[in-house]
């Protein structure tokens, strides 16, 4: 666009208006001038005609005065615009004609005006074409001597006069116009330049995004108000943008935090599971390029839970931090360490060295992590089980690699912890079997694949005092699975309570049908896992089953292991108290194989200690083994607990135990576990409802 600013537009428009007005004024004054001039010429002509007509009165119609008349007419010579003058007699016969300067053109040619029709015009001034024609009576109308006709050029002098006017007025008018334009320009500039400044200011703000800018006070009227308003608006924008900036910073911090939390473990600052997965995948993608191999080491702490439970979560957290630091110090610099939650760490060694180097690294890790940790006043010890999988044995799939390292770690745990294992395909087969077992338990319980066997408990003389319910599983898919295999898997996969409930229900039914008729004292024991004690509904379920099957008090007893109360003494104690209140006894199973924290024995209501089979097996092997068994028996008696020896296979074992005070025995020497049907045969009439 030609006009870029409002200021220029306003000034140009104003000048245009001034020009139009000036032209209009000029035009009107020209018209006025014309009419004034023609009136002036008319009155002049009238006066001239009257004078001359008066002077002619004594001269016309007198033949001897022809010269005087000519002389008189020649007196018109000083009037440059008189084209012609003629004298007529009363009958309109021309007596004399005079041609003035105005009828002679530049080439000295004479143009006589047409005077043929003057007689018809009558007295007075007439306009004809460019001329004014004056017709004047000579003498009184009553005594008329003739007529005087003067033809006067009107247009010529008018043009001249207008021309003169132009010449005189135009320069002054132009100067005036210029002055007005200049004045307008300067005043317009003065008033309107703030608008230009506003526009420049807006452009500057847009370009710099600097909202702290302020417009200097300037301008008049609305422009001044506009400046104020814009400054006020800028203040609001500034305040808003400051608030916005704070929000943006806050959001930015949040985003960074979220990103950190999405990728890192907050406690140790190590990469977390998802970031580790991404890094492993990226390493896998690079495998082909560099023809290198990747190893994953799955590190799981042994005994972390005990530390955490016994010393508190703060110590546990600190321990994890220290473990992370030790790992960082041990592994090569270019490896990636991550925490997978809990007490599991994963290490990726991208430039995988040969197996022997991996072995020595794993050794260093096992040794390094088992050194004592000093946390506040505690000296804490844990160890680590490590599973190692490499792309040599697991292929180039990140998921597989991690899973295989996990499987190898599990293998290291089951081999006795505090060691490392390399992944092998056989481990995968065992892993798959564990998965199958865990997966088929539920369906097996529904499809009636489980049964309960009973193994008698006897006195030394062979009389029966009870039986232990031992679950059996004959799976359609897996065949016979030993409880020693599937019970630990059920415990780890959270399926043990379903088995326990099924066993409780089954045993209660068998008690109602058979065992309640066996002459007492006779107790049927049910094994409980540590997890069962933590299930709040379990005690309710047991109570419900007792009521449902109408069992007499004291018929059922429960066997628990040391792990049950090690986990949470309060929870276990609450459970034991409820059990005891129902008239059931509590046996401590596998005594001596767990942590054997003897102080617990006084803190929980235990009725019977079951001496584990491994002690019974060792009877007669050495005086020290014998002494150990004797000590256990002695301790139990002093604590007022009953004793039951498990896995008694020989008469010697039985005699030794009996001699030192153990009164109840369970083992192949007496009976193997058997079906209820077989048990009924053994019981004979003892298992029948009295007639």
Nearest CA among 650, 629, 671, 653 for reference residue 466: 671
| Smallest gap from residue 568 Cβ to ligand C2E (A) | 18
CA distance 329 to 337: 11
Does 527 bind ligand C2E (CB under 6 A)? Our answer is yes
Decide: 561 and 590 in contact? Cβ < 8 Å. Answer: yes
CA distance 379 to 357: 31
Order of strands across the sheet that contains 383-390: 336-339, 344-349, 295-302, 383-390, 420-422
Output 88 or 473, the one with its CB closest to ligand C2E: 473
Nearest CA among 58, 47, 157 for reference residue 100: 157
Does 501 bind ligand C2E (CB under 6 A)? Our answer is no
**Cα–Cα distances in angstroms (integers) from residue 592 to residues 340, 488, 572, 589, 612, in the given order:** 34, 19, 19, 9, 7
- Candidates 311, 487, 582, 674: give the one binding ligand C2E (CB under 6 A): 487
| Contact track, Ca ion, 559-578, x by CB under 5 A | x-------------------
How many Cβ atoms from other residues are within 10 Å of residue 125's Cβ?
19
| Smallest gap from residue 465 Cβ to ligand C2E (A) | 15
**Binding site partner of 542, from Ca ion, ligand C2E, none, Cβ cut-off 5-8 A by kind:** none
> Which residue in this structure is represented by tokens 């007419």?
73
| Smallest gap from residue 338 Cβ to Ca ion (A) | 40
Give the range of 26-34, 459-467, 494-502, 552-560 binding Ca ion by CB under 5 A. 552-560
- The residue sitting closest to Ca ion, measured at its beta carbon, is 559
CA distance 279 to 334: 12
- Candidates 113, 146, 673, 687: give the one binding ligand C2E (CB under 6 A): 673
CA distance 417 to 409: 9
**Binding site partner of 455, from Ca ion, ligand C2E, none, Cβ cut-off 5-8 A by kind:** ligand C2E
| Smallest gap from residue 593 Cβ to Ca ion (A) | 8
Output 223 or 674, the one with its CB closest to ligand C2E: 674
Does 621 bind ligand C2E (CB under 6 A)? Our answer is no
**Binding site partner of 319, from ligand C2E, Ca ion, none, Cβ cut-off 5-8 A by kind:** none
CA distance 214 to 171: 48
| Smallest gap from residue 558 Cβ to Ca ion (A) | 10
| Smallest gap from residue 404 Cβ to ligand C2E (A) | 29
**Binding site partner of 503, from ligand C2E, Ca ion, none, Cβ cut-off 5-8 A by kind:** ligand C2E
| Smallest gap from residue 527 Cβ to Ca ion (A) | 4
Residues 6+ apart with CB under 8 A from 231: 214, 215
Phi, psi of 139 (to 5 degrees): 90, 175
Does 527 bind Ca ion (CB under 5 A)? Our answer is yes
The residues facing 347 across adjacent strands are: 297, 337
Output 89 or 590, the one with its CB closest to Ca ion: 590
**Binding site partner of 49, from ligand C2E, Ca ion, none, Cβ cut-off 5-8 A by kind:** none
| Smallest gap from residue 659 Cβ to Ca ion (A) | 22
- Candidates 482, 553, 624, 685: give the one binding ligand C2E (CB under 6 A): 482
Output 96 or 589, the one with its CB closest to Ca ion: 589
| Smallest gap from residue 591 Cβ to Ca ion (A) | 8
Query: Within 13 A of 232's CA, how many CA atoms are on the CB side?
Result: 6
| Smallest gap from residue 415 Cβ to Ca ion (A) | 22
Does 444 bind ligand C2E (CB under 6 A)? Our answer is no
Does 529 bind ligand C2E (CB under 6 A)? Our answer is yes
Phi, psi of 266 (to 5 degrees): -65, -35
DSSP 561-577: -HHHHHH-HHHHHHHHH
Does 91 bind ligand C2E (CB under 6 A)? Our answer is no
Near ligand C2E in 554-583, by CB under 6 A: 559
**Binding site partner of 663, from ligand C2E, Ca ion, none, Cβ cut-off 5-8 A by kind:** none
- Residue 680 burial (C-beta neighbours within 10 Å; 0-12, 13-18, 19+): middle
Give the range of 58-66, 257-265, 438-446, 646-654 binding ligand C2E by CB under 6 A. 646-654
> Which residue in this structure is represented by tokens 């000590």?
631
Strand residue runs (E) in 195-315: 295-302
Output 590 or 617, the one with its CB closest to Ca ion: 590
Output 268 or 653, the one with its CB closest to ligand C2E: 653
CA distance 26 to 598: 129
Residues 6+ apart with CB under 8 A from 590: 561, 562, 610, 612, 646
**Binding site partner of 192, from ligand C2E, Ca ion, none, Cβ cut-off 5-8 A by kind:** none
| Smallest gap from residue 306 Cβ to ligand C2E (A) | 21
Output 365 or 524, the one with its CB closest to ligand C2E: 524
Output 156 or 592, the one with its CB closest to ligand C2E: 592
Does 272 bind ligand C2E (CB under 6 A)? Our answer is no
| Smallest gap from residue 612 Cβ to ligand C2E (A) | 7
Dihedral sign of CA atoms 169, 170, 175, 180 in order: positive
| Smallest gap from residue 483 Cβ to ligand C2E (A) | 4
170-195 per-residue burial string, b: 16 or more CB within 10 A, e: under 16: eeebeeebeeebeebbeebeebbebb
- Candidates 647, 657, 676, 683: give the one binding ligand C2E (CB under 6 A): 647
CA torsion angle 437 439 440 445 (round to 10): 110
CA distance 200 to 216: 13
- Candidates 566, 667, 676, 679: give the one binding ligand C2E (CB under 6 A): 667
Does 498 bind ligand C2E (CB under 6 A)? Our answer is no
CA 538, 541, 545 angle in degrees (round to 5)? 140
Decide: 453 and 511 in contact? Cβ < 8 Å. Answer: no
Does 455 bind ligand C2E (CB under 6 A)? Our answer is yes
**Binding site partner of 484, from ligand C2E, Ca ion, none, Cβ cut-off 5-8 A by kind:** ligand C2E
> Which residue in this structure is represented by tokens 């006017």?
165
Give the range of 50-58, 295-303, 350-358, 555-563 binding Ca ion by CB under 5 A. 555-563
3-state secondary structure of 337: strand
- Candidates 68, 89, 505, 590: give the one binding Ca ion (CB under 5 A): 590
CA distance 642 to 586: 10
Crossing angle, helix 425-446 and helix 483-492, to 10 degrees? 90
Applying CB under 5 A, which residues contact Ca ion?
527, 559, 589-590, 646
- Chain contacts with ligand C2E (rule: CB under 6 A): 455, 469-471, 482-484, 487, 500, 503, 527-529, 559, 589-590, 646-649, 666-668, 673
């Amino acid at each position: 666009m030609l006009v870029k600013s409002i200021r220029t537009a306003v000034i140009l428009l104003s000048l245009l208006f001034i020009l139009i007005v000036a032209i209009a004024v000029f035009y009107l004054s020209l018209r006025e001038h014309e009419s004034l001039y023609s009136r002036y010429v008319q009155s002049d002509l009238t006066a001239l005609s009257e004078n001359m007509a008066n002077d002619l009165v004594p001269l016309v119609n007198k033949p001897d005065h022809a010269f005087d008349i000519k002389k008189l007419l020649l007196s018109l010579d000083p009037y440059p615009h008189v084209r012609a003058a003629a004298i007529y007699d009363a009958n309109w016969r021309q007596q004399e004609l005079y041609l003035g300067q105005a009828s002679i053109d530049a080439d000295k040619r004479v143009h006589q005006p047409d005077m043929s029709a003057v007689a018809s015009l009558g007295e007075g001034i007439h306009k004809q074409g460019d001329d004014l024609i004056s017709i004047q009576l000579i003498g009184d109308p009553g005594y008329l001597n003739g007529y005087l006709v003067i033809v006067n050029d009107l247009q010529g002098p008018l043009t001249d006069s207008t021309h003169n006017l132009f010449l005189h007025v135009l320069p002054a008018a132009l100067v005036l116009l210029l002055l007005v334009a200049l004045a307008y320009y300067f005043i317009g500039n003065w008033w309107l330049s703030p608008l230009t400044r506003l526009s420049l200011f807006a452009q500057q703000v847009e370009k710099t995004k600097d909202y702290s800018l302020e417009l200097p006070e300037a301008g008049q009227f609305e422009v001044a108000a506009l400046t104020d308003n814009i400054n006020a608006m800028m203040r609001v924008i500034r305040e808003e943008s400051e608030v916005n900036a704070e929000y943006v910073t806050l959001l930015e911090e949040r985003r960074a935090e979220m990103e950190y939390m999405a990728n890192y473990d907050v406690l140790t600052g190590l990469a977390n599971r998802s970031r580790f997965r991404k890094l492993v995948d990226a390493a896998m993608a690079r495998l082909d390029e560099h023809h290198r191999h990747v190893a994953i080491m799955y590190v799981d702490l042994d005994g972390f839970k005990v530390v955490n439970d016994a010393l508190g979560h703060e110590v546990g957290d600190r321990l994890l931090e220290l473990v992370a630091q030790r790992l960082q110090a041990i592994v090569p610099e270019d490896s990636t360490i991550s925490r997978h939650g809990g007490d599991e760490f994963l290490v990726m060694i991208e430039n995988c060295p040969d197996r022997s180097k991996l072995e020595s690294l794993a050794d260093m890790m096992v040794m390094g992590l088992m050194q004592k940790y000093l946390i506040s006043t505690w000296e804490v010890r844990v160890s680590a089980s490590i599973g190692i999988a490499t792309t040599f044995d697991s292929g180039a799939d990140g998921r597989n690699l991690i899973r295989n390292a996990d499987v190898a770690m599990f293998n290291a745990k089951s081999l006795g912890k505090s060691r490392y294992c390399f992944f092998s395909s056989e481990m995968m087969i065992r892993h798959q079997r564990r998965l199958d077992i865990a997966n088929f338990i539920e369906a097996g319980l529904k499809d009636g694949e489980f049964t309960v066997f009973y193994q008698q408990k006897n006195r030394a003389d062979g009389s029966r005092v009870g039986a232990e319910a031992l679950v059996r599983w004959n799976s359609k898919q897996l065949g016979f699975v030993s409880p020693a295999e599937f019970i630990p898997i059920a415990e780890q996969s959270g399926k043990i309570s379903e088995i326990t409930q099924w066993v409780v229900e089954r045993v209660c039914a068998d008690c109602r049908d058979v065992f309640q008729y066996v002459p007492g004292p006779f107790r049927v024991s049910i094994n409980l896992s540590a997890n069962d004690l933590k299930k709040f509904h379990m005690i309710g379920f047991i109570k419900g089953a007792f009521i449902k099957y109408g069992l007499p008090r004291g018929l059922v007893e429960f066997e628990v292991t040391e792990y049950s109360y090690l986990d949470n003494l309060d929870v276990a104690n609450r459970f034991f108290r409820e059990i005891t209140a129902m008239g059931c006894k509590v046996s401590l199973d596998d005594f001596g194989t767990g942590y054997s924290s003897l102080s617990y024995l006084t803190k929980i209501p235990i009725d019977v200690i079951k001496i584990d089979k491994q002690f019974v097996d060792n009877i007669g092997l050495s005086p020290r083994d014998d002494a150990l068994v004797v000590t256990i028996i002695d301790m139990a008696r002093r604590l007022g607990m009953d004793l039951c020896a498990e896995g008694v296979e020989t008469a010697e074992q039985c005699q030794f135990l009996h001699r030192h005070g153990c009164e109840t025995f369970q083992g192949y020497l007496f009976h193997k576990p058997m079906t209820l049907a077989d048990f009924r045969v053994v019981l004979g009439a003892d298992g029948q409802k009295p007639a």
